[in-house]
Chains A and B, each alone.
Chain A
Amino acid sequence: MARRWKKAAVGNESSNPTAAGRDFKRRRLGRLPRAGSETRHIGDEHGLSGDVRKQWQIVLGRFVRQPRAMVSLGLFALLGIGSTLAGLFWHYSYLDLTNQIATFGHGGPSFQHPFGVDTIGHDLFAQVMEGTKEDVQTALLVAAISSLIGTTIGALAGYFRSWVDTILMRFTDFILAVPLLAILAVLGNLAARQSGSWFWVAIIIGVLAWTYVARLVRADFLSLRERDFVEAARAIGASNRRIIIRHLLPNALGPIIVNATLTVANAIILESTLSYLGLGIQPPEVSLGSLIAAGEGDTTTFWWLFVFPAAFIVVMILCVNFIGDGLREAFDPRKTRVRV
């Protein structure tokens, strides 16, 4: 115990100037979990209750100070809420057939139809809004499911090691051995025959997209479990469950949250891709991917059929990625700091 603490102390003694700079900074800011790195010193400070609350305030403070992340968060929230409200208040439903259709030179964006109409007369704005709404719902559900599964599997593998680790990680490996999209295509086709609802699409993606989170949490737990506070907790008779939930999980939460965010981005890509292939969300529900597929043949003539749904997909994913980046920086300012 003494020896090991010595090493922790030594590890903190700064060997280089940037580390020295960091020390000052940490001293001033308090210390925080650092995302995605094995050489960190958070457990040093690890205490629960008030201490943790303060750390979260600091993380939040650092997040709020990043204009790009904040703008992205605002825009993403606007897309999510706006698309839901539009479904309720816009003068066309996404199912309505209007009295206009896209023909050569007609049907483009107008006052009545801001995004134009498609070749059979749907109001594209209503459709894009509905598609956005379903995409956001799907992506959030996917992130929740896959974070839950991934964290559980990664935590168990990393904490118990030995055969638990071997079994769980081999399981992860062989899920990774086949292109995710290919498995999703097979399952998506199966689901599409039963029900093309966004909910089932989300479930399918969610139960397969957790591998990255699992690897990450496992790596985190493998290093965290060697820390002195775990040993101390064990020494006073804390159960494995308590150690995992009360001691290790709070320390691994930063990277988990960051990756949940990135999973949202990934889920939007996967869902829109599946829907584009006709294996995801099925009519009458719409997704931005299926809208693009529907307009694909006429893209050069009716550009709006491609541009609006595509722009919404890209902007949404970009926002989520920027939010994730901002979170990463908020949890781990050292990693992204300007140095060398």
Chain B
Amino acid sequence: MLSYLLRRLLASVIILILSSILVFTMVAYSGDPLASLRLNPRTPAAVYALRRDELHLNYPLPQRYWIWVTHAIHGDFGLTIGNQPVAPQLWSHLLVTCEMVIIATIIAIFVAIAVGVFSAIRQGRAFDSAAAFTNYLFISVPVFVLGLLLKEFAAIPMNNAIGHTVIYTIGQQSSNLNGNFLQRLPNYAGHTILPVLALILVTYPSWAIYQRSSMLEALDSDYVRLARAKGLSPTRVLIRHTLRNALIPITTVIALDFAGVLGGAILVEQVFSWQGIGQWFLQGILVLDFNVVQAYLLVTAFFVVAFNFIADVLYGVLDPRIRYG
């Protein structure tokens, strides 16, 4: 197990390093962040030169990468185009996104497993057909369409009907909040529910479909047949043999999809105007704020790689063939 973990850890670090190089190069070539400054005839040459220097644009690319990555490791992601340090902005925006992504991912995992398992054991019955239809429907709706649908055609009419805002459609919390955490909780919840719901609905279906098929595979396996032939109770067969084995492959799928969830979060933040890291990143792209864009990509890559590593560990825990392999 230890050597397996070390190997996976090493692979994760290598992937992260390669990703950071790829990302840095790609972003560096995607445009000139000081274009507007340079093209403005009233910019003093000294200011322009200073800004270039501050953004390390005078150095060759490998050196720029080295400066950037060594600082990034120490939590310093450089300056924004507006001459502010990137790191504080990064962490505050990240916190907002984390809240949404963590809640949504956890709920989506449970929903997906429940739907997949029940579809499999009710194969061909009404629940299975209904779940299959719902899965296909949500898989076929882009996040932003679903988000707008929830916002414009569900929440807003509902709020109008009630007469005051229960489900908020803009921002992650109201600005004029008083009271302690418990008093503010309904406001948080009212803001969080729609984005999280949108993210869950676009995330769970592919996992549910996968869980259903791995469940069906387990149900049709020889070891489950042997477990039944031993005279075990149906519940025990289902939980200890079928479900236990059918949970192994889904860990990899969920881990691989985690990047997709972060991608979905960008859209959800856009639709519901959350000041999350995705919004921050999009604005960074539009103004070619290199350090913002690179910081975002590096941090997400870190989370994706870390998540995959956790999945690898989990895989090893769940499957003795990996553990002792």
**In the bound complex, how far is the Cα of B22 from the Cα of A178, in angstroms?**
10
Could you tell me if A310 and B301 are in contact, using CB atoms closer than 8 angstroms?
A: no
Classify chain B's interface size: 35 or more
**In the bound complex, how far is the Cα of B152 from the Cα of A340, in angstroms?**
43
**In the bound complex, how far is the Cα of B144 from the Cα of A306, in angstroms?**
11
Interface SS majority for chain A: helix
Interface residue B94 (Cβ < 8 Å from any Cβ of A): no
**In the bound complex, how far is the Cα of B132 from the Cα of A318, in angstroms?**
13
Residue picked from A174, A190, A272, A276, most chain B C-beta under 10 Å: A174
Could you tell me if B285 and A279 are in contact, using CB atoms closer than 8 angstroms?
A: yes
The answer to whether A292 and B301 touch (CB under 8 A), given A179-B259, A186-B293, A277-B282, is no
A167 to chain B, nearest CB (A): 11
A181 cross-chain contacts in B, Cβ below 8 A:
263-264, 266-267
Mark the stretch among B24-32, B62-70, B85-93, B181-189 that contacts chain A: B24-32
Could you tell me if B266 and A190 are in contact, using CB atoms closer than 8 angstroms?
A: no
Could you tell me if B256 and A313 are in contact, using CB atoms closer than 8 angstroms?
A: no
Interface residue A300 (Cβ < 8 Å from any Cβ of B): yes
Interface residue A127 (Cβ < 8 Å from any Cβ of B): no
B266 cross-chain contacts in A, Cβ below 8 A:
179, 181-182, 185
B325 to chain A, nearest CB (A): 16
Could you tell me if A322 and B216 are in contact, using CB atoms closer than 8 angstroms?
A: no
The answer to whether A15 and B14 touch (CB under 8 A), given A265-B140, A272-B142, is no
Could you tell me if A340 and B263 are in contact, using CB atoms closer than 8 angstroms?
A: no
The answer to whether A177 and B19 touch (CB under 8 A), given A182-B296, A306-B152, is yes
Interface residue A183 (Cβ < 8 Å from any Cβ of B): yes
Q: Which of B23, B142, B149 contacts A178 (CB 8 A)?
A: B23
Could you tell me if B267 and A273 are in contact, using CB atoms closer than 8 angstroms?
A: yes
**In the bound complex, how far is the Cα of B286 from the Cα of A173, in angstroms?**
27
Q: Which of A15, A185, A190 contacts B31 (CB 8 A)?
A: A190
Could you tell me if B26 and A187 are in contact, using CB atoms closer than 8 angstroms?
A: yes
Q: Which of B137, B262, B282 contacts A185 (CB 8 A)?
A: B282
A174 cross-chain contacts in B, Cβ below 8 A:
15, 18-19, 22, 301
A317 to chain B, nearest CB (A): 4
Mark the stretch among B72-80, B190-198, B217-225 that contacts chain A: B217-225
B270 cross-chain contacts in A, Cβ below 8 A:
277
Interface residue A269 (Cβ < 8 Å from any Cβ of B): yes
Interface residue A29 (Cβ < 8 Å from any Cβ of B): no
**In the bound complex, how far is the Cα of B263 from the Cα of A317, in angstroms?**
19
A322 cross-chain contacts in B, Cβ below 8 A:
136
Contacting residues of chain B (260-287) with chain A, CB-CB under 8 angstroms: 260, 262-264, 266-267, 270, 281-282, 285-286
B301 cross-chain contacts in A, Cβ below 8 A:
174, 177-178
B174 cross-chain contacts in A, Cβ below 8 A:
none
Could you tell me if B15 and A321 are in contact, using CB atoms closer than 8 angstroms?
A: no
Could you tell me if A182 and B263 are in contact, using CB atoms closer than 8 angstroms?
A: yes
Interface residue B145 (Cβ < 8 Å from any Cβ of A): yes
**In the bound complex, how far is the Cα of B296 from the Cα of A190, in angstroms?**
17
B112 to chain A, nearest CB (A): 17
The answer to whether A179 and B293 touch (CB under 8 A), given A186-B27, A340-B219, is no
Could you tell me if A170 and B143 are in contact, using CB atoms closer than 8 angstroms?
A: no
Mark contacts of A97-141 with chain B using CB atoms, 8 A cut-off: 1 yes-contact digit, 0 otherwise.
000000000000000000000000000000000000000000000
**In the bound complex, how far is the Cα of B140 from the Cα of A321, in angstroms?**
7
Interface residue B139 (Cβ < 8 Å from any Cβ of A): yes
Could you tell me if B145 and A314 are in contact, using CB atoms closer than 8 angstroms?
A: yes
Closest B residue, CB atoms, query A320: B140
B269 to chain A, nearest CB (A): 11
B282 cross-chain contacts in A, Cβ below 8 A:
185, 277
Interface residue A3 (Cβ < 8 Å from any Cβ of B): no
Show the binding face of A for B, using Cβ within 8 Å.
15-16, 18, 170, 173-183, 185-187, 189-190, 193, 265, 269, 272-273, 276-279, 289, 292, 296, 299-300, 306, 310, 313-314, 317-318, 321-322, 325, 335, 338-340
What are 6 A-B contacts with C-beta separation under 8 Å? A16-B220, A178-B297, A182-B297, A265-B140, A317-B140, A321-B136
Further contacts, 19 of them, CB under 8 A, given A175-B22, A276-B144, A318-B140: A16-B220, A16-B222, A174-B18, A174-B19, A177-B15, A181-B263, A181-B266, A182-B263, A182-B296, A183-B23, A186-B26, A186-B297, A189-B288, A265-B139, A269-B142, A273-B144, A314-B141, A338-B123, A339-B216
